[in-house]
Amino acid sequence: MNKHEKKDRNFISSLARGLSILEAFDLDQPRMGITDLAKKTGLSKSTVYRFVQTLSSLGYIIPIAEGNRYALGPKVLGLGFSVLSSLELREIAQPYLMELSKQVNETVNLAVLDGWKLIYIERIKTQQIVNINLHVGTRLELYNTAMGRILAASQSKDWVSQYLKYLRQLPQAKSYWTNKGKKLLSILELVRKQDYAINNEELVLGLRSVASPVRNRESQVVGAVNIAVSSSLYSLQKLKQELIHPLKKTTQSISAALGLEI
């Protein structure tokens, strides 16, 4: 029996399918019916129905009255926060993030890589910037977010190559992966050169942000911090002039606290 056979034998496919149901819910589709879930997971409707009934009875999914839909239940938050509370990065970074938010009087976020997406692990919110519901635990795409670009730019060439294959599943990202990913690769190269990334209303109209990397003692990028602002208050030029310096100073301080020699 070889290593792969042992691994396959220990892999519980039914558990993986159940988890895929939970992972299907995101910011774009927080409420879905059986048909939506089947389409998104690639599972049959009958299989999805059985898993939904089980997850619902356990409290991980709750039924929504409108249109026989479902949403993630509060029990899922318990799992998420138990993980977040154990993250050394979040605990160390929090006072620095609060000080940065106070200094610039804008919303500040901290995110880490989560598969092909990023996940918010801290959010210091000052005001509602635009009509978008972001919170600790929110998962967003990488290609059109400042923090996502920071996290993607730090990965290996092989990783980026696989990520481009993932992007082909997203019609809205077509301009980033066509021509062998020329647009995205150019963006990531600029991020590496400048050591910061900008989102110029690419996630949602009315929102701009600038992000900078957080590194551990081995100089590996372990997270990203951004400052998110209203485009009506910050032009691209003003954002660069006023926010990049305090942002980089903060991420350098967090990195130093994680053991990086600055």
Whether residue 248 is found in the same domain as residue 214 = yes
The verdict on residue 80 lying in a domain is no
Q: Which DSSP category does 32 fall into?
A: B
The verdict on residue 204 lying in a domain is yes
**pLDDT below 70 — which residues of the chain?**
1-9, 65-67, 77-87, 128-131
Beta bridge partners of residue 118, listed in sequence order? 113, 140
Indicate which CATH number applies to the domain containing 125. Answer: 3.30.450.40
**Among residues 55, 75, 95, which one ends one of the domains?**
75
Tens-place pLDDT, residues 227-241: 999 999 999 999 999
pLDDT in the model for residue 129 = 61
Whether residue 41 is found in the same domain as residue 138 = no
Burial 4-20 (b: 16+ CB within 10 A, else e): eeeeeeeeeeeeebbeb
Q: Can you point out the beta strands (E) in 142-249?
A: 197-200, 207-215, 221-230
Q: Could you give the 3-state DSSP secondary structure of residue 107? A: strand
Whether residue 40 is found in the same domain as residue 157 = no
Query: Are the C-beta atoms of 206 and 230 separated by less than 8 Å?
Result: yes
The verdict on residue 262 lying in a domain is no
Tens-place pLDDT, residues 39-57: 999 999 999 999 999 998 8
What's the count of helices (H) and strands (E) in the chain, helices before strands?
A: 10, 8
The verdict on residue 82 lying in a domain is no
Whether residue 176 is found in the same domain as residue 205 = yes
Domain residues for the domain of 145 are 87-257
Structural domain count, the chain? 2
The verdict on residue 243 lying in a domain is yes
